[in-house]
Amino acid sequence: MSLYDQKYLDIAENIIENGYFDNNRTNVKTYKLPHQIMQFDLRKEFPVLTTKRMPFITAVKEMLWIFRDQSNDVSLLHKEKVKIWDEWVLEDGTIGTSYGYIVKKFHQIDKLIEDLKNNPQSRRMLISLWQNEYLDTGALYPCCFLTMWDVTDGYLNCMLIQRSGDWGLGIPFNTTQYAVLTLMLSQVTNLKPGLFTHVINNAHLYENQVEALKLQIARRDEAYPAPEVWINPEIKNFYDFTYKDVKLIDYKHHDDIKMEVSV
């Protein structure tokens, strides 16, 4: 079994058995647990689920849209056949002042890469998508809103802070795509990938997802080992990466499990 399946399913089971059940912003009630943490050593294993198919390329495309393209234009995702933002798109075809808009506004990727190369022992290396004056003009308050970066002994470590995490749909997506971001940034800054830590303040499961998660938990004993991940070694500039420059090698997985999105 992959380490990610083990940690993810343990928390899923805990949410179902011990989660606090109540209303929330949507019309679908949730079971939730605060302060859930998963940590992975990227030198040893890449975190991706095998107990259901992970839409890996879609996750990478969205991540690149945010951090490489630094865009809020949903039509760019449509050109890549990605529709995950369609439920939140505004009348102008964008997601407003959210995500990629904020990365570009404050030149956050460029500043991070500069520090990783030239000031790697800085304790101020972070990307914050939570900018108060831009929250209400965005389509959605950022869920994965903060990454903090550390370099220790030549290894790049990333801590992702997520204020709100849909355990059924969002969390597997987010873990995998930010792990890829860590691999890409380590390569272009001549560092080695180290720890990836995912902290979720409000880890929740919608009540209409419970049976689907139980099905996934039942696959625990039939989980597969984690796949290897390949990053194109020729890429030296972060902005040159495409989704074709990252692949999962020997990715074995179970079938999809359909779950509803709550808006």
- Residue 169 neighbours by CB under 8 Å, 6+ apart: 209, 259, 261
Contact indicator for 40, 196 with CB cutoff of 8 Å:
yes
Q: Which two tokens stand for residue 186?
A: 């380590």
Ramachandran category for residue 260: left, alpha or beta (phi over 0 → left; psi -120 to 50 → alpha)? beta
Residue with tokens 């003009």: 137
3-state secondary structure 98-116: CCHHHHHHCCHHHHHHHHH
Q: Annotated catalytic, 143? A: yes
Closest residue by Cα to residue 108 from 238, 256, 249: 238
Q: Residues in the chain, how many?
A: 263
Catalytic pick from 103, 143, 156, 203?
143
If one counts every other C-beta atom within 10 angstroms of the C-beta of residue 226, the result is 23
Cα atoms in the 13 Å half-sphere on the side-chain side of 236: 1
Mapped onto helix, strand or coil, the DSSP state of residue 120 is coil
- What single letter denotes the amino acid at residue 246? V
DSSP state of 227: P
Beta strands in 74-187 (DSSP E): 126-128, 144-152, 155-166
State the catalytic residues. Answer: 143
